[in-house]
Amino acid sequence: MDAKKRKHRYAMVIVQDRCIGCMACYSACKFEWEVPISKEMFRTEVLEIEQKDVDGKPKVAFMPILCNHCDNAPCVEVCPTGASYKREEDGIVLIEPSMCIGCKACMEACPYNARYLNEELTVVDKCTFCLPRISNGLEPACVATCVGEARNFGDLNDKNSKVYKLLKDAKKVRRLQEDKGTLPNVYYVSMND
């Protein structure tokens, strides 16, 4: 189904200038969804990328990462049981745990490494855009707690939504690994030049 014809076109728009790498999102998400205490298990996290500019001076960027809820989701394609699926009405990619056999094919297929094996549930797990929260009128846990208000969630079909406006006003917009044809729904934007 053409993404634009969906009832909702949910997206996360991350204003990367505003991310300070504090990991509030990481912990809020793990408590919200009872993700086991383990460095290898998380639905979202923030990378600290250390580089140098042309003069050799340090340069540090913080980059939140999560499931991109791709319109062309490789994880859904490879799932042998149909446990991984994309919701037609809003584009959210989900896993039905009772159908997951833990084969990890999706984990290998995902170019974002957004999925992990939940060792407690022995099924694969990942970000759901906090579907239960957004269904109850709340923001996703990571968005609600974000100290720098770097993370924004909303419906791109709604021209009054913050995410729509941010994409419209952004000076730079990018998505990760677009060359893979995944059509991700997580946008990284910069509002300043």
Partner 1 sequence: MSKITRRAFIKTSAVASSALAVGGLLPKQSKAKSKIERYDEKMTHYDKGKTAFTYCEMCFWNCGVVAHIRDGVVHKLEGNRCNPNNMGHLCAKGNSGIMSLYDPNRLKYPMIRTGKRGEGKFKKATWEEAFDYIGEKLKGIINKYGEKSVASFLHGTGEEPFIILSHAIGTPNVIIPAYSQCMGSREIGWVLTYGTGVSGHSTFDFKNSKYIISFGRNLLGALQVREAEDVTEALARGAKLVYCDPRFSETAAKAHRWLPVKPGSDLALILGLIHVLIRDQLVNMEFVKKYCYGFGELAEYVKQFTPEWAYQETGIDIKTIEAIAWEFAKYAPNVVAVPPRRFSRYGNDTQTSRGIAILNALVGNWGVPGGIWERSKYAYIVANYNRSDCDIKEIEFRLPKEDEPPKPKAERADGAGTLFPLAPKGLGRENGIIEATKNENPYPIKAWLLYGTNPIGSSSIGKNKLVEEVIPNLDLIVDMDIIPNDISMYADVVLPESVYLERYDLPHIQKDAHPFIAIREPAVKPLFDTKGAWDIAKGIAERLGHGKYFEKSVEERIEEVIAQLPKDKQKELKEKGVVIYEGVEPFPQAAGKELEFKTPSKKIELYSTKLAKLYKEKGDDYYPLPKYKSAVQPREKDVYRLLFGRVPMHTHARTQNNKMLAEIYPENEVWINEEEAKRLGFDEHDKAVLYSVSTKIESEPIKVKPTSRIRKDCIFIAHGFGHISKFLDTAYKKGASDSYLCSDEVDSVSGAAAFNNAFVKIKRVRS
List contacts with partner 1 (CB under 8 A): 15, 17-18, 20-24, 26-28, 30-41, 45, 47, 49-50, 52, 56-63, 65, 97-98, 111-113, 116, 119-121, 123, 128, 131-133, 135-136, 141, 144-150, 176-177, 191-192
How many other CB atoms sit within 10 Å of the CB of residue 193? 5
Closest to partner 1 by CB, 76 or 110: 110
Residue 192 has which token pair? 């300043």
Minimum CB–partner distance for residue 8 and partner 1 (Å) = 17
- Collapsing DSSP to helix, strand or coil, 64 comes out as strand
CB 82 within 8 A of CB 99: yes
Minimum CB–partner distance for residue 4 and partner 1 (Å) = 27
* Helix segments in 53-169, DSSP class H: 74-78, 105-109, 131-135, 141-145, 162-169
Closest to partner 1 by CB, 2 or 40: 40
Residue 168 has which token pair? 């419209």
How big is the chain by its Cα radius of gyration, in Å? 17
Closest to partner 1 by CB, 86 or 157: 86
Give which of 146, 168, 143, 148 is closest to 156, Cα–Cα. 168
Minimum CB–partner distance for residue 121 and partner 1 (Å) = 5
Minimum CB–partner distance for residue 171 and partner 1 (Å) = 12
